[in-house]
Amino acid sequence: MSRLLANEELKVCNLTKEKSILEKKLSLCIENYSTLEKTYNLRTYQFKVASKINLELKNENLQFRLDLDDNSQSKKKNEILKIEVSRINDNLEKYKHIAENQLKEMKEIKNKLKEKDEKISILMDENKKITSFMKETEGKLLKAYEDLKQISFISKTYKTS
């Protein structure tokens, strides 16, 4: 019976260690999620700024078309603006891809966190079951001990009588 109790204590110890490891992993996942969220927010802000600049450049381009009568000068400025708009659009596209990738990473981390939470919940349930079993076993051992004491007392009483 003590071997069974020792095995149960070893299982509880192992589960406790595993729970501690999972809690550390969960903590790291939360830190990674926070970092990714900050990066995503920064990229989103940069994307919005670039969009605003792009809109301003488009408006400037339209204004230049209205203001300039000289066709050749308009063409030169338009080409410069087209190049600038193209460059900004390229940057916007790059930021958009970065933001999408970071969003995917954040979703993956969120799923991993959910899995870790589920594992921790399962381990905690198992730990409760084992603890309950150990208490039940301890109660039975105490009852068996009391029964043995009574049997010993009764047998001593019969021997003396």
**What does the DSSP assignment read for 16-40?**
HHHHHHHHHHHHHHHHHHHHHHHHH
In this prediction, residue 64 carries a pLDDT of: 73
How many Å apart are CA 62 and CA 81, to the nearest integer? 10
Q: What is the pLDDT along the chain (161 residues), one digit of tens a residue?
A: 678 778 888 888 888 999 999 889 988 988 988 898 998 899 889 999 988 998 998 898 888 777 766 666 667 778 888 998 898 889 889 988 988 999 999 999 899 989 988 998 998 999 999 899 999 999 999 999 998 888 888 877 777 66
Query: Which CATH code fits 2-152?
Result: 1.10.287
pLDDT for the residue 68: 61
Q: In angstroms, how far apart are the furthest CA atoms of the chain?
A: 133
* The predicted structure's pLDDT at residue 52: 93
Q: How far apart are the first and last CA of the chain?
A: 34
Domain ranges of the chain: 2-152
Distance of CA 151 to the CA centre of its chain: 58
Structure-token match 């939470």, residue found: 117
CA distance 153 to 142: 16
